[in-house]
Each structure stands twice: as C-alpha cells, then as structure tokens.
A and B are shown apart, each in its own frame.
Chain A
Amino acid sequence: MKRREFLRILGIGGAGTGLGFVLGKVTQTPGAKLIPYLVPPEEIVPGVANWYASMCAECNSGCGIIVRVMEGRAKKIEGNPGHPVSKGGLCVRGQASVQRLYNPDRIKGPLKRRGQRGSGDYAEVTWDEAAAELAKNLSDLRKSGEAGKFYLLTSQLHGHLNQLAANFMSGYGSPNHIQYELFQNRNLLYANQASMGLNTIPHYNIEHTKYLLSFGADFGSTWLSPVNFSKGYGRMRQGEGARGKLVQVEPRISVTGANADEWVPARPGTEAILALGIAYAMVEKGYNRAGDASAWRAALSAYRPKEVAAITDVKEERIFEIAKEFAQTRPSLAIGGEGLSSYENGASGLVAVNVLNHLAGNLGVKGGVLPNPDDPLRAAVDMNKRITALASAAASSKVKALAIYNTNPVFTTPKAAKLEESLKNIPFIVSFSSFMDETTALADLILPANTPLEDWGDGFAEPAAGAPVYTIMQPAVSPVFDTKSLGDILLSLAKSMPGNMGPKLQAQSFAEYVRNGWKELYSKNRAMASGTADFDDFWDKTLQNGGWWSQEPSRRGLSVSTGAASANISNKPAKFDGDEKQFPLYLITYAHPMRLDGRGANLPWLQEIPDPMTSVVWGSWVEINPKTAESLGIKEGDTVSIESPSGRISAHAYLFPGIRPDTVALPLGQGQVYGRYAKDRGENPIGVLPLVENPKTGALALNSTRVKVSVASPTGRMVKMEGSTKELGRGIVKTVSPEEFSKMKKEA
C-alpha cells in the first residue's frame, strides 16, 4: 500500500466515524433535566393540579373563577360552577386573563423616572427606595397643608380594596378619589337611582323571561354581566316552557342582535323615544299592568306612536305590535345597554326603559327586574368625581400629586378633554400600574401592583343574581415578578407617613385587612353565620367556595313614578356633533367583544380571535352598509378615512349589511402605543369623538358625532377569516320557513 493510499483510507475512516457519531447525536431525543424540589411544599404534589377559587377582574361583573395551578404556576382559568353569577361559565376575556399574569410587557419592579417626562427613560430602584420617595412626596404635601391636592385615580374598585382606598384618602385628608373607566355604568346607576331609588344595579332576570326587549344591550358579549346573561339567555330560549323571544333595537347588529328574532334598526339617538312611544301605545291600548293609565297618558303625551314613528324610522304598526307583545307576553323584560346609554342623553333613555318595565308590571317579578341587595361596603357612586374634573383641576394647577391605578384615561378620553396636557402640570405622578400605558407613561415613579391572580381582594357582585353574592379574590400564585399588592402598598405607606392616618389602616397586610373585614361582615350577618362553627370555619369554607352567597332575595319594592319619569325623559333625539350635510353619517363606537375599552388589546389571544360579527383579526375596521359603500365608491378592505369635526382616523372598510345605511360603526380598543401585542394595530376611534359627557353623571357619550367617510387608499390589508358572506348557490345553509317546518312536523 502506498503512503498516499493509506492516508486516504485513514481520512475516509476518520470522516466516517465522525459522521456516524453526529448521526447518532442528531437522531437521539434531547435529554431533559429533572429538577427536584429542595424542600417540597406541603400542598403541592408534582403533576397534580391545585384549583383555587377566586374572582375575575377583567370587567366589573365579578364572575367567580377557579384557577388551575400546577407546581405553583397558574395554567388555566375556568368559571366557578358554584358561583351564582358565572355558574361555571367564563367569557373569552376571563379565559385570556392568564396572559395578563405572564405578559412579557409587565413592569417587573419599581421604576423611577430618569429622563424627561414621557420619554420612557426609567431607572430600576428597590421597593424601599420607591416607597420612601412616595412617602416623602405625600408627607411633604400634607405637611404644607395641601393634602386636598392629592388625587387618587383608579378603575372602579370593589369591596375591601375600595374601602381601604377610601380610608387611606380620608386618613390622608383628601376627598379626591376618582374612579374612572370608559364603561362604568354611571348612566345606569343614575337612571335607576333617579327613577326607582336604587343604589345598585338590579338583576335583569333574562333566564326566566319570555319576551326580551333589548335597547342596544349587547348582553351576550360585553354588557354588565355577559356570562350570567348568556347562560340565562340559553335557558330563556331552550329552558322550561315556551321559547322566549328576543327583540333587539339597535342601529348596528351586535353579537346579541345577531341572535335576536327581530331586529329594529331605529335611527341612532332616537331609541329612547321609541321606548316611550311603545310605553304610550301600551297605556293607550290599556295593556299596562301597573301605573295609573290616565296619569301616564298625560306624562307620555309627547310620544304618540305616529310622531314617534316619524322620528325613529320605525313604522307605527310595529310600535303597536311590540307594545302588545311586550305587555301580553308574561313575563317580559326591557333592558337598555351601552348602545342606548352611550348617547349624550343616555341616562334618560335608561329611565324610559324603566318606565316600560314599570308599565308592563316587570319590576320585582321573576323574569323581570329583580332588585339586588345593597353593597355592604359602598354607598352610592359620587357622580361629580369624574375624569374631566381631574383634567380641569390639573389644568389650573390644583393638583400637586396624583396616584394612578389600573386605568388608562389618556387612551380613553377624547382629545378635547386635554387630559394629557393637564396631567403634565402635576408635579408628582405615581403609578401602580403593572403595565406601561399612555397614562402611566407620564409617571415619575412606578410601583407595580400585583395582577389579580396574585392578589387578595373581594367584590360584592353588581349586578348580583338578585340575592347577595360576596366573591373573594385570593392569590392563586405568588407574584411572578417583583410586584406588591396595592392594598399592601397603601397600608405600608400609611404607616410610614408622619402624623396620624386614623385607626382603620393598622392591619399588617392587605390579606389580614380583607380577613378582618370579612370577620366584621360575618359578625353582623346572621345568614353568613348559619351552618358554620365559628369565623375560622366560615373563612376556610369561603376560601374553598370562592366566596359566600345566599338565595335570600331582596324584598325591596320597585316602581317608577310619573314625576320621576317626566323629570328625566326627553322627546328630543340625542344630539350629534357635526353638520348633517358635511358629515352625513352617524358614528357608533362600541365595546369590542374581546378588547372591550382597550384593556384586552395586549393579550395576544384576544388579538388573534376573529371578531364574532365580522371575522376580522387584529387591525381596526369600520362597518359600512354595502349600499352606502357603493354610493361612496368604497370596496371591502379599502383603507378609508373617517373624519368628524373633532378629528380623523383611518381604518379598513368592512361591508356589513347589519348596519343602517346612514350609520357607520367603529370598535374600540385598538390604536395603543404601548404593549408589544397591542401597538401598531389600527387606530383609536376615541380620536374622532368630541368631548360630550352626560352633565348629570359624567359618563362619556361615545355615540355623539357625525362623520364623513372617504377612500384614503384603495389598497389595504384587512385580515379576516370569512371569504364571502354569500352562499353563491352552494346550498351550505339549508333553511325552512316556520310554516313549512310545522307542516313537516305534523307529517312526520
């Protein structure tokens, strides 16, 4: 063998061995590590889930949830089957809320502003430093006798957290705790207070009603307590007795409207007048079951169906038909949702709905409106504490310090409120937000609070199920990042403040505060004590069940007087900004089923689920009737500009037959600047809204402007799941008329 040949064989052999080794390496399954516990926690068995009962905080319905936790990590959230509000159900937002816990955009520890305000340049600091800085700022303010210039701005707080915040503010000496959310039911609270003397939202007993007349209430996806109502609606349709009927009055079909038997597309802003027209028709025909007919005829004389028909674009005969069916089907129920309440005179529309229920005898009956017991911790909501009050106080430098928690008003108030500019006047802003957002971006100091799955809390569900529902929120997992409970932050802040902050802030931790609060409730409420040995026993059961509730209905009587009604109703359609000729279309903005007011936008699941009505994913779109689109030369998917006297945004055109030709609709929630899943997706419809708030309640009117729509660019990329809305003769959906169906049933 030659030397050269030997080397060649050696080379081939070496390469082959190496190759074989690599082959073996790449084909084997990668080994994983097995990391045991150092000391095993007592309650954890690896591989076996622990379920913790808690409360969902994605909206204000207060659904009971159970959280599946494995090895200390929350994996899945379901509805609590024993809870009277959620009854084992949970909506898409509740399901996705686990993504709030693990969201990569969470603020992972305390931050202190380093650069210019709004620049996003923050330095990481320790909790001790951050707490000391906060305490110093607030105690300096208090020492200089300006405690009243400290404002606390939060979302709608519930239960003991709300009580703690109130105690903190009164101990500190400031009356200015403002609770603000876009969908806060202020108008509904006001209308029920003004017409029925109720301080809480009643329970609308959809489950047992047989005729449901809904004015713009999208109760199947966003309104009040969608899980409870959806379950109830299922039983209303397919439960005991005859199938209930749903009539939906709204200019644009919502998810709920799509399920209705009848759609009544009244002219936007006139729904309240339609309700009163129906009420008048009931009185005139003698259908009413409650109330003095002649007194009501006098009170409603301005709403004769003939005139109402002309205003509302609903035929006179149809008004009489609805009146007859509504009055004669037992039990029946009228509800007024965001669609009605979001007009400039929204509260009066909701009073009109109460009038309908009163006349039909639906108040306080099964299948009608059932009163809820009062919240044991909260008095009536103060309607004067509103976001515009904060904006004007800040603009005139009457605010020296501001604390923000869990609300993003810079994103949800119209430009005309000048909120951002006003907030910049405040010398010291602290945020307790867990996420960076448009409002928190103005903060000088950020002390991130826990998310609901890491926190204690409770809620006295509103609307409850017509009986007391006290839900407890307990931590399902320990904090994932370096965050603290807002309750703990406030309690330790109170202790580090010089001077007396009052006796109500002595608890060592918020957990203890909540427990003490429940102990007090327990000592006062005999129904809570029944069947339990002592408070400790009761508390264990409460944590296990997710709260305490009873079947005991509220015995309060409900009625609407002609005087209360007349003082609040109006025969003028809601006002819309903008000249009719220049801006020919009404604009409806609505809460998106997934993103709501924008709070769900940074949860990726909620971004990628197609909208149930349009099947659009991500982005923002505007719903236009195909006839209107044709006359404006707009094709599906075009980028169009929507212009109002207050501003202009662009969105993709979606041709939607379920909307009146004189109306266009925009879903809320997109167009955020922060959050990796939320940013760069569409535009914020709030940008075209004028600042119109209900003078009595401070609720922002979302349906308050006219717009014009024009093609901005014929190209655009709207992502949607549906191909065509038409069958094109393929016979995909077989239909049969009710008459044929009953004939077929007889023959079978």
Chain B
Amino acid sequence: MKKLIVYALTGVISLAIGYWVQQQFFSDRAPVQPINFSHKIHAGVNKIPCQYCHIYAERSRVSGVPNVQRCMGCHKIIKTDSPEIQKVTAYWEKKEPIPWTKVHNLPDYVYFPHKRHVRAGVECTNCHGDVPNMDRITKVSSLQMGWCLTCHTQRNVKNGRDCWTCHK
C-alpha cells in the first residue's frame, strides 16, 4: 500500500515537472527567434519609439513586423560586426524575409485592430508588457477574452462588451 502511494506521488510530481519544463523553456510565450533580436537594446537603451519600426499600428489592424529593408536602413552601418546583424544581412542578400515566430497570436475569430487601441491612447506596454526591458519577447498577457473584457469594462469602452465588437 505504502509502495503504491510512493509510486503515485512520484508520477504526479514528475508530471508536474515535465509540464513546467515544457511551459518554461519550450513554450510559445518566449520562443527562440531566428535572430536574437533584443528589444531592450532598441526600445530600452536606445529609446527608439515602437512605431518607428511597427509602422502600421496607427492605421491598420496589424502593427506590422518591420520589413527587412527597414532593418537594413540602420544596420548597413551600425554594428555590422555583430554575428546577429550578419544574419540579417544574409537574409537581405538572399532576398528572403526573416521568418519570425509569432508570440502574440489571436485566433481567427477574434477581430483585434491595433489602430483603435493605439488611437484611443492605450500604451503598447499595457498589453505587451515591459518590452523595453525584454531581451527576448515574452508574452505577459493571457490574451483571453476575460482579460480583454476587464480592460474594456474598466475603461468603459463604448460597445466594449458587445459580442459583435470583436467577433465579426
């Protein structure tokens, strides 16, 4: 009997460990990107505004991943000796886009426009977390419906609790 309890306990504990390892090191919350891009250097140390690179945030549904040309705009000159920048240059020379892994991923049935949020004065960090201090982008918000609605309710968004506002 005692033996069985030990077995069960071992099983449960190891299950939890396995799950935790997966979540912590292999999940999409902070996936390893093809280039070790640091937001901390760009947005934190050098204080580049978000919309300098994410140029569509104010006028489109998506904020836009910076195109490779924009990266090269600076990095033709800046820090060309860094091995990570050389990776970018390699993509540019092959005329291939960089295949980033998506961190903030919404299902197709959610209509989320960046435009409306940015124009309403919602700070980027509100949802994306303290990006200026992140080396690798980590998802800090759940992006679940309840999380959306908390904010919509607090800010008293017009039609903010209507199904049709986000599901259309």
Q: Are B15 and A35 in contact (CB under 8 A)?
A: no
Q: Are B101 and A34 in contact (CB under 8 A)?
A: yes
Interface residues of A in 1-45 (CB under 8 A from B): 5, 8-9, 12-25, 28-29, 31-40, 45
> Contact check: which of A28, A33, A36 meets B27 at CB < 8 Å?
A28
* Cα–Cα distance between A32 and B107 once the two chains are bound (Å): 11
The answer to whether the Cβ of B105 comes within 8 Å of any Cβ in the partner chain is yes
Q: Which B residues touch A34, using CB under 8 A?
A: 65, 99-102
* Cα–Cα distance between A12 and B11 once the two chains are bound (Å): 6
* Cα–Cα distance between A24 and B21 once the two chains are bound (Å): 9
* Cα–Cα distance between A312 and B10 once the two chains are bound (Å): 92
- The proximity string for B residues 138-166 relative to A, scoring 1 for CB distances below 8 Å and 0 otherwise, is 00000000000000000000000000000
* Cα–Cα distance between A29 and B67 once the two chains are bound (Å): 26
The answer to whether the Cβ of A47 comes within 8 Å of any Cβ in the partner chain is yes
The answer to whether the Cβ of B19 comes within 8 Å of any Cβ in the partner chain is yes
Q: Which A residues touch B67, using CB under 8 A?
A: 36-40
Q: Are B100 and A24 in contact (CB under 8 A)?
A: no
Nearest A residue to B61 by beta-carbon distance?
A47
Q: Are A33 and B100 in contact (CB under 8 A)?
A: yes
Q: Are A16 and B62 in contact (CB under 8 A)?
A: no
The answer to whether the Cβ of B41 comes within 8 Å of any Cβ in the partner chain is no
A308 CB, min distance to chain B CBs, angstroms: 58
The answer to whether the Cβ of B59 comes within 8 Å of any Cβ in the partner chain is yes
- The proximity string for B residues 58-74 relative to A, scoring 1 for CB distances below 8 Å and 0 otherwise, is 01111011111100000
B120 CB, min distance to chain A CBs, angstroms: 17
Q: Are A5 and B102 in contact (CB under 8 A)?
A: no
* Chain A CB within 10 A, most for which of B18, B61, B102: B18
The answer to whether the Cβ of B109 comes within 8 Å of any Cβ in the partner chain is no
The answer to whether the Cβ of A48 comes within 8 Å of any Cβ in the partner chain is yes
Nearest A residue to B143 by beta-carbon distance?
A29
The answer to whether the Cβ of B17 comes within 8 Å of any Cβ in the partner chain is yes
B91 CB, min distance to chain A CBs, angstroms: 8
Q: Are A48 and B97 in contact (CB under 8 A)?
A: no
* Cα–Cα distance between A40 and B97 once the two chains are bound (Å): 11
Q: Are A36 and B62 in contact (CB under 8 A)?
A: no
Q: Are B60 and A37 in contact (CB under 8 A)?
A: no
Assuming the A-B contacts A33-B99, A33-B102, are A39 and B18 also in contact, with contact meaning beta carbons closer than 8 angstroms in the complex? Answer: no
- Give the B interface residue count (CB, 8 A): 45
Interface residues of A in 29-83 (CB under 8 A from B): 29, 31-40, 45-48
- The proximity string for B residues 78-110 relative to A, scoring 1 for CB distances below 8 Å and 0 otherwise, is 000000000000001001111111110101000
Q: Are B11 and A24 in contact (CB under 8 A)?
A: no
Q: Are A12 and B14 in contact (CB under 8 A)?
A: yes
Interface residues on chain A, size class? 20 to 34
Q: Which B residues touch A5, using CB under 8 A?
A: 3
* Cα–Cα distance between A379 and B105 once the two chains are bound (Å): 59
Q: Which B residues touch A47, using CB under 8 A?
A: 56, 60-62, 64, 113
Q: Are A17 and B17 in contact (CB under 8 A)?
A: yes
Q: Which B residues touch A35, using CB under 8 A?
A: 65, 97-100
* Chain B CB within 10 A, most for which of A5, A16, A23, A37: A16
The answer to whether the Cβ of B51 comes within 8 Å of any Cβ in the partner chain is no
Q: Are A13 and B14 in contact (CB under 8 A)?
A: yes
> Contact check: which of A12, A18, A33 meets B18 at CB < 8 Å?
A18
Q: Are B59 and A48 in contact (CB under 8 A)?
A: yes
The answer to whether the Cβ of B77 comes within 8 Å of any Cβ in the partner chain is no
Q: Are A20 and B10 in contact (CB under 8 A)?
A: no
Q: Which B residues touch A48, using CB under 8 A?
A: 56, 59-61
* Cα–Cα distance between A9 and B2 once the two chains are bound (Å): 13
B133 CB, min distance to chain A CBs, angstroms: 22
Q: Which B residues touch A22, using CB under 8 A?
A: 18
B22 CB, min distance to chain A CBs, angstroms: 3
Assuming the A-B contacts A12-B7, A35-B100, A37-B97, are A24 and B27 also in contact, with contact meaning beta carbons closer than 8 angstroms in the complex? Answer: yes
Q: Which A residues touch B10, using CB under 8 A?
A: 9, 12-13, 16
The answer to whether the Cβ of B45 comes within 8 Å of any Cβ in the partner chain is no
Q: Are B105 and A29 in contact (CB under 8 A)?
A: yes
* Cα–Cα distance between A39 and B92 once the two chains are bound (Å): 10
The answer to whether the Cβ of B31 comes within 8 Å of any Cβ in the partner chain is yes
Assuming the A-B contacts A5-B3, A13-B10, A47-B62, are A32 and B102 also in contact, with contact meaning beta carbons closer than 8 angstroms in the complex? Answer: yes
- The proximity string for A residues 419-438 relative to B, scoring 1 for CB distances below 8 Å and 0 otherwise, is 00000000000000000000
> Contact check: which of B15, B20, B65, B95 meets A36 at CB < 8 Å?
B65
A580 CB, min distance to chain B CBs, angstroms: 60
* Cα–Cα distance between A31 and B113 once the two chains are bound (Å): 20
A41 CB, min distance to chain B CBs, angstroms: 10
Q: Are B22 and A19 in contact (CB under 8 A)?
A: no
* Cα–Cα distance between A16 and B18 once the two chains are bound (Å): 7
B19 CB, min distance to chain A CBs, angstroms: 4
Interface residues of B in 16-46 (CB under 8 A from A): 16-23, 26-28, 31
* Cα–Cα distance between A31 and B101 once the two chains are bound (Å): 7
Q: Which A residues touch B12, using CB under 8 A?
A: 16
Assuming the A-B contacts A31-B28, A35-B100, A46-B60, are A21 and B18 also in contact, with contact meaning beta carbons closer than 8 angstroms in the complex? Answer: yes
> Contact check: which of A20, A29, A32, A40 meets B19 at CB < 8 Å?
A20
Q: Which B residues touch A25, using CB under 8 A?
A: 22, 26
> Contact check: which of A16, A23, A24, A36 meets B13 at CB < 8 Å?
A16
Q: Are A17 and B15 in contact (CB under 8 A)?
A: yes
Assuming the A-B contacts A9-B6, A24-B19, are A39 and B69 also in contact, with contact meaning beta carbons closer than 8 angstroms in the complex? Answer: yes
> Contact check: which of B3, B22, B98, B102 meets A20 at CB < 8 Å?
B22
Q: Are A28 and B28 in contact (CB under 8 A)?
A: yes
Q: Which A residues touch B3, using CB under 8 A?
A: 5
Nearest A residue to B113 by beta-carbon distance?
A47
* Cα–Cα distance between A449 and B81 once the two chains are bound (Å): 49
Q: Which A residues touch B15, using CB under 8 A?
A: 16-17, 19-20, 23
- The proximity string for A residues 656-699 relative to B, scoring 1 for CB distances below 8 Å and 0 otherwise, is 00000000000000000000000000000000000000000000
Q: Which A residues touch B65, using CB under 8 A?
A: 34-36
Q: Are B69 and A16 in contact (CB under 8 A)?
A: no
Q: Are B96 and A21 in contact (CB under 8 A)?
A: no
A31 CB, min distance to chain B CBs, angstroms: 4
Q: Are A24 and B61 in contact (CB under 8 A)?
A: no
Q: Are B21 and A38 in contact (CB under 8 A)?
A: no
A420 CB, min distance to chain B CBs, angstroms: 47
A619 CB, min distance to chain B CBs, angstroms: 33
* Chain B CB within 10 A, most for which of A15, A17, A28, A45: A17
Assuming the A-B contacts A20-B14, A25-B22, A33-B99, are A45 and B60 also in contact, with contact meaning beta carbons closer than 8 angstroms in the complex? Answer: yes
Q: Are A8 and B7 in contact (CB under 8 A)?
A: yes
A735 CB, min distance to chain B CBs, angstroms: 36
* Cα–Cα distance between A12 and B102 once the two chains are bound (Å): 35
B81 CB, min distance to chain A CBs, angstroms: 23
Q: Are B22 and A36 in contact (CB under 8 A)?
A: no
Binding site for B on A (CB under 8 A): 5, 8-9, 12-25, 28-29, 31-40, 45-48
Beyond A29-B28, A37-B97, 11 additional contacts (C-beta under 8 Å) are: A12-B14, A13-B11, A16-B18, A20-B22, A23-B18, A24-B22, A32-B105, A35-B100, A36-B65, A47-B62, A48-B60
Listed by A's residue number, 7 A-B pairs whose Cβ atoms lie within 8 Å are A9-B10, A33-B101, A35-B97, A35-B98, A36-B67, A39-B68, A46-B56
* Pairs of residues from A and B, 7 with the lowest C-beta to C-beta distance, nearest first: A20-B18, A24-B22, A16-B14, A47-B61, A17-B18, A20-B19, A47-B60
